[in-house]
Structure 1
Amino acid sequence: MCLLSGTAVEHKPIKIKVTTTIWDGDQKETFELTTFGRYYEKSGSTYLQYEEVMEEGNVKSIVKVSKDETLILRSGAITMRMVFEMNKKHLGRYETPFGTMGISTRTKRLAHSFGAHNGAIDILYELHMQGALAGTYHLEISYEEENK
């Protein structure tokens, strides 16, 4: 149990699998990450938190899912903010030790399902970096509660 803004919030330990598939023209690449994190609900939104170790260093990620949009925040070795809302374009940023790039997303599919002990988020979007199409991305995040 954690106290946030005066409200008790129950954090559940979870195992998370993040699969990213990128299409850039005829090229297709898939990346998978399995890690551990936390699930909690606050103010009508669902949150997933996890950390990953990258070449550049550790990166903490927070995925916030509300009724009509999903927000992904990353901090640490890489700082990123991306918003996904069906059929809408949102500006964001991607910061690395080498500099900051402007990014934008246009969401083609946004779905999520949350159960008592597991859930999934499915996002299909176009990513533009510095105004140019970087590819079509399919982000799948699934999780299951860790056995106590």
Structure 2
Amino acid sequence: MGTQPPIVPVTINLKSEIRHPGQDTDFMELELAGTITEKGGRRYLRYEEKQNAETVRTTIKLDPEDAVIMRTGAIRMRLPFAPGGTRPGTYANGPLALDLHVVTNELLLTEDHDRGEFRVSYDMHAEDGLLGHYELTITYAEGTR
């Protein structure tokens, strides 16, 4: 049996900016506890958050060329990102399920010894057109507060 990769606790600061067509911009900022782990040469950031008393688990594949945000639980979502590209994604919440087209405008990953920043700017489209423009910045540092 192989050895399990180390799971490193991290403190996460998540900032999001969402602009839906014809609406004011929504801003959100959260501080969460999470983990970083490595599997198959890739690094993954994981955390949980509560939404309406239900848990949503998020895993982010940290890759500057091929990142993915995967959410499970109360919300099920898969958002793949490629710089300057469009990728198919999915979103489901209860009985609602949508096929998405994710247009990555910017994708940056900077990592230093015990900290990092993942930043993505993207447009999300469904069958009926543009759902919104999203800016997400996640900074993480080893350890907990």
**Would you call these one fold, judging by a TM-score over 0.5?**
yes
| Equivalent residue in structure 2 for 1:15, among 11, 15, 38 | 11
Shift of 1:8: 2.6
Shift of 1:25: 4.5
Q: State which drifts further: 121-130 or 5-14.
A: 5-14
Per-residue CA deviations over 1:29-65 (Å, capped at 9, x if unaligned) read 1111211010122222111000000016101000002
C-alpha distance 147-52 of structure 1, shift in aligned 2 (>3 A) = closer
Structure 1 match to 2:73 = 76
| Matched pairs, number | 144
RMSD: 1.9
Residues 66, 82 of structure 2: 8 Å contact kept: yes
Shift of 1:67: 4.8
Percent identity, aligned pairs only, is 28
Q: State which drifts further: 27-36 or 74-83.
A: 27-36
> For the residues of structure 2 that align with 1:67 and 1:28, how far apart are their CA atoms?
26
Residues 36, 50 of structure 1: 8 Å contact kept: yes
Residues 63, 109 of structure 2: 8 Å contact kept: no
Structure 2 match to 1:58 = 55
Which structure 2 residues correspond to residues 106-145 of structure 1 after superposition, within 5 A? 106-145=103-142
Residues 64, 108 of structure 2: 8 Å contact kept: no
Which segments of 5 or more consecutive residues in structure 2 lack a partner in the other structure? none
TM-score, with length taken from structure 1: 0.89
TM-score, with length taken from structure 2: 0.90
Between Structure 1 and Structure 2, the one with more strand by share is 1
Which segments of 5 or more consecutive residues in structure 1 lack a partner in the other structure? none
1:76 partner amino acid: G
Q: State which drifts further: 95-104 or 105-114.
A: 95-104
Structure 2 match to 1:30 = 27
Question: Does residue 86 of the first structure (1) align with residue 83 of the second (2)?
Answer: yes
Shift of 1:101: 1.3
> For the residues of structure 2 that align with 1:43 and 1:7, how far apart are their CA atoms?
12
